[in-house]
Amino acid sequence: MRQDHIISAKHLSREDIEAVLDRASTIADDPAAYSQRHAGSLLGLMFYEPSTRTKMSFSAAMKRLGGDIVDMGPVEYSSVQKGESLADTVRVVEGYADALVLRHPSEGSAKMAGEFVDIPLINAGDGAGQHPTQTLLDLYTIRENAGLDDLTIGIMGDLKYGRTVHSMAYALTNFETSQHFISPESLKLPRNVRYDLHEAGSSIKEHTELEAILPSLDVLYVTRIQKERFPDENEYREVAGEYQIDTDTLEAASDDLTVMHPLPRVDEIAHDVDKTDHAKYFQQAHNGVPVRMALLDLLLGGDQ
DSSP state of 210: S
The nearer residue to ligand NCD, 134 or 202, going by C-beta atoms, is 134
Q: What is the C-alpha separation between 129 and 131, in angstroms, rounded? A: 7
Q: Is 103 a catalytic residue?
A: yes
Q: What is the C-alpha separation between 259 and 242, in angstroms, rounded? A: 17
Q: Is 82 a catalytic residue?
A: yes
Query: Least CB distance from residue 286 to ligand NCD, whole Å?
Result: 12
Binding of residue 55 to ligand NCD (CB under 6 A): no
Q: What is the C-alpha separation between 281 and 271, in angstroms, rounded? A: 12
Binding of residue 262 to ligand NCD (CB under 6 A): yes
| Of the residues 16, 19, 21, 54, which one makes contact with ligand NCD according to CB under 6 A | 54
The candidate with the shortest Cα–Cα distance to 170, out of 147, 193, 191, 136, is 193
DSSP state of 243: S
2 C-beta neighbours (distance < 10 Å), count: 9
Question: Binding mask 66-95 vs ligand NCD (x if CB under 6 A, - otherwise)?
Answer: ------------------------------
CB 42 within 8 A of CB 98: yes
The nearer residue to ligand NCD, 57 or 202, going by C-beta atoms, is 57
Which among 11, 53, 111, 188 is annotated as catalytic?
53
Name the 3-class secondary structure at 77: helix
Which among 5, 64, 131, 278 is annotated as catalytic?
131
DSSP state of 173: T
Residues in the chain: 304
Binding of residue 23 to ligand NCD (CB under 6 A): no
Give the helix ranges, DSSP H, for 94-221.
109-114, 132-145, 163-172, 191-199
Q: Is 53 a catalytic residue?
A: yes
Binding of residue 60 to ligand NCD (CB under 6 A): no
| Of the residues 42, 70, 87, 263, which one makes contact with ligand NCD according to CB under 6 A | 263
| Of the residues 5, 224, 278, 280, which one makes contact with ligand NCD according to CB under 6 A | 224
Q: Is 292 a catalytic residue?
A: no
The nearer residue to ligand NCD, 60 or 263, going by C-beta atoms, is 263
The nearer residue to ligand NCD, 192 or 304, going by C-beta atoms, is 192
Q: Is 131 a catalytic residue?
A: yes
Binding of residue 163 to ligand NCD (CB under 6 A): yes
CA neighbours within 13 Å on the CB side: how many for 263? 19
233 C-beta neighbours (distance < 10 Å), count: 10
Question: Binding mask 171-210 vs ligand NCD (x if CB under 6 A, - otherwise)?
Answer: ----------------------------------------
Radius of gyration of the chain (CA): 19
Catalytic (active-site) positions? 53-54, 82, 103, 131
**What does the binding site for ligand NCD look like in residue numbers (CB under 6 A)?**
53-54, 125, 131, 134, 163-164, 224, 262-263
